[in-house]
Amino acid sequence: MPLDDPLDSRVGALNTALKHHAAKDILRRAFEAAPNLALVSSFGAESVALLHLAARAKPDVQVIFIDTMLLFPETLTYQREVARGLGLRRVQVIRADTSSDPDNTLNQRDPDACCDLRKTAVLAAALASYDGWITGRKRFQSGQRADLQAFEVEQDTGRIKVNPLAHWTSTDVQDYITENNLPRHPLVARGYPSIGCAPCTTPVAKGEDPRAGRWRGTQKDECGIHFVNGKMVRTGATQ
């Protein structure tokens, strides 16, 4: 499609053309439509599926990993092991200036402000030089994502956001990990089906929602690093 088409038109055409296509096809077309794409990954419980798909579609895919400096040690080790195992050569590890939270207690006083400091602002700066970004968000993860499309528009930034796994179920993800013999995050076996920062993540009991362990005891259930209509809002984590 012509690159001078309005972004809304281009994204709409992509969603129509790829409505019933597999994630690998969505990724391939995404890299054609916007070659300068970055994949933002938490290297969390389900991240390895998308990382594997992207590595196969584009071996030199740019990956952005936010080290909040409050992550579980297991996540940091897993990130290095997965990157090495999948041959991901371009992994950019970004960190915020956390001098305003010297004792690492902002998460206890104001978890939204902590996410803004350690995730939102630093990611916005890192994405400024890219045409778009790839996320692992899926429709089944929350009501806010029920109408999620494979391609979205960030109007104010002029970026495309790509969600190759939008239509995948949790079973799809687990089956893909098993079929491709991919390494699982070690905390999954210890009762953490959704993994964020250590102070704000707890194990999940059988029968609980998979995200019940995130910010337990609060009304918060998203980290807030996504954009809607170009504005950074609290609408969903990357994985």
Catalytic positions: 223
Q: Are 131 and 204 a contacting pair, CB within 8 Å?
A: no
Please tell me whether residue 64 adopts helix, strand or coil conformation. strand
Among left, alpha and beta (phi > 0; psi -120 to 50; other), residue 32 is alpha
CB under 8 Å to 25, separation ≥6 — which residues?
18
As a whole number of angstroms, the distance between CA 215 and CA 234 comes to: 14
Q: Calculate ∠ Cα 82-88-90, nearest 5°.
A: 130
The beta strand positions in the chain, using DSSP E, are: 37-40, 62-66, 91-94, 132-134, 151-154, 159-162, 226-228, 231-233
The first and second tokens of residue 111, run together, are: 């978890």
β-sheet with 159-162: strand ranges across: 91-94, 62-66, 37-40, 132-134, 159-162, 151-154
Please name the residues in contact with 119: beta carbons below 8 A apart, sequence gap of 6 or more: 66, 68, 96, 223, 224, 225
